């Protein structure tokens, strides 16, 4: 079975077992989604979903996040890990949003990737799940699955993302990224598949 056939089989199978793909990070607006995705680095979605209600009850906009202050952000998000860097990034990106974007999260990969703490994967999640633009965010879990399934021999997530985008139809990317994550959590963990 070549890569294209394997990709087609995987897409059909994932659509059967995961017909619905809710976004795993709880949020009520795009700003909250951006912050939740930023917090999810080196942290489980479950833990993020325990922390964000506390954070967002105090600050669910960039302006309120600035008013909350870096120290209070840090105290709330500390259980997520990497809290010093993440609290600085959340505070700084909130300032940039207020001062340069009228508090509106920009609908642009280039602009999002300029924010502190926001890399290509985070920007891809916001663009796909927040704005509905085709994107295929690849984290270490998706990278691992793509390698195990023989869809890529990419040495990094960037190459894996390119390989997956070439194998799957563009209209499947946003849902498929979540289906990969759900499958990885349920059947194909780092320890065994």
Catalogue the active-site residues: 121, 139
Long-range own/partner contacts, residues 5-10 (CB < 8 A, 24 or more apart): 6/149, 6/150, 6/151, 7/151, 7/167, 7/168, 10/149, 10/151
Q: Is 113 left (phi over 0), alpha (psi -120 to 50) or beta?
A: alpha
Tokens of 133: 């633009």
Return the HEC string of 132-164.
Answer: CCCCCCCCHHHHHHHHHCCCCCCCCHHHHHHHH
Through-space distance between the first and last CA atoms of the chain, rounded to whole angstroms = 20
Q: Of 152, 157, 155, nearest to 138 (Cα)? A: 157
């Amino acid at each position: 079975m070549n890569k294209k056939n394997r990709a087609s089989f995987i897409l059909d199978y994932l659509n059967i077992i995961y017909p619905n793909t809710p976004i795993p990070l709880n949020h009520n607006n795009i700003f909250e989604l951006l912050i939740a995705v930023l917090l999810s680095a080196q942290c489980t979605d479950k833990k993020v979903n325990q922390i964000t209600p506390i954070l967002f009850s105090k600050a669910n906009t960039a302006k309120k996040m600035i008013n909350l202050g870096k120290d209070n952000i840090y105290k709330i998000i500390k259980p997520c890990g990497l809290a010093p860097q993440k609290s600085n990034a959340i505070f700084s990106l909130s300032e940039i949003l207020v001062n340069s974007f009228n508090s509106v999260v920009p609908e642009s990969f280039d602009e999002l990737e300029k924010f502190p703490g926001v890399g290509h994967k985070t920007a891809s999640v916001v663009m796909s799940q927040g704005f509905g633009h085709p994107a295929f965010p690849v984290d270490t879990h998706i990278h691992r699955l793509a390698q195990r399934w023989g869809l890529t021999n990419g040495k990094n997530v960037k190459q894996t993302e390119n390989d997956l985008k070439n194998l799957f139809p563009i209209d499947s990317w946003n849902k498929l990224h979540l289906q990969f994550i759900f499958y990885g959590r349920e059947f194909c963990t780092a320890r065994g598949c």
